[in-house]
Chains A and B, each alone.
Chain A
């Protein structure tokens, strides 16, 4: 099991983090490193694309929450792209749908960045 993480610059100062695979206690440090590096470089408007993520657990959610907290300290935001019903369900039952902007496609997520 692994996670593929790739980062690309998008419109304005926004960056997109594309994730492919499964995010769990083993793979989430790799995701955390990518998000932390972007924030350390003062990029505070992020879209994290979960379209190709098949699985996420609490450690993955923790990484996303941690990233959101940090960018908000700088007036930034994190929007998610997610179409997998099982993953959407996890965001729903944890109440995280109220905290993250969750969109069906990258264009909408990008548009909604603060």
Chain B
């Protein structure tokens, strides 16, 4: 599946694969932050992107990336960045993303998906027991 159209003109694509292991999540978020800094994002926006990527990787780890690999593709474009995170696990329950706000009763996995949706401009989740999970998220340059 191709990344969602966020950026009208691609300025470059960066591909990264990390082991689906907790200690590698920091590497993923820092690498994506470096890629995002090529675009005119504010510091706050880059922090949002870092957290969204980390939550995506955490979901992949917690929901079984069966081949032990998480793939992250960043496409930097004129208007922003499209980030596709995919693995071959089942992904989090999609019902988790419907809550407007997550309070004390919220589970961590719900918090993670909720944060991704709150911090990014567009999020598309597809999960298939046989084909794995793919998350395509877009952050647009504001202003």
Interface residues of A (CB under 8 A from B): 1, 22, 24-26, 55, 57-59, 61-62, 65, 68-69, 86, 89-90, 93-96, 98-99
Contact = CB atoms under 8 A, between A and B. Distances in A.
B58 A86 contact: no
Nearest to A66: B108
**Interface SS, A side:** helix
Interface stretch (B1-9, B109-117, B128-136): B109-117
B58 A95 contact: no
B79 interface: no
Contact of B103 (A26, A86, A89, A96): A96
Interface in B19-42: 22-23, 25-26
A90 B114 CA distance: 11
Contacts of B47: 86
A98 to B, nearest CB: 7
Interface in B62-103: 62, 101-103
A94 B103 CA distance: 7
**Interface SS, B side:** helix
Interface of B: 22-23, 25-26, 44, 47, 50-51, 54-55, 57-58, 61-62, 101-104, 106-109, 111-112, 114-115, 118-119
Contact of A26 (B26, B50, B106, B107): B26
A58 B61 contact: no
A25 B115 contact: no
B118 A93 contact: yes
B51 A57 contact: yes
A25 B115 CA distance: 15
A24 B111 CA distance: 13
Contacts of B51: 55, 57, 90
Contacts of A89: 44
30 contacts: A22-B26, A24-B22, A24-B26, A25-B25, A25-B61, A26-B25, A26-B26, A55-B51, A57-B55, A57-B58, A58-B55, A58-B111, A62-B107, A62-B108, A65-B104, A65-B106, A68-B104, A86-B44, A89-B44, A90-B115, A93-B118, A94-B106, A94-B111, A94-B115, A95-B102, A96-B102, A96-B103, A98-B103, A99-B103, A99-B104
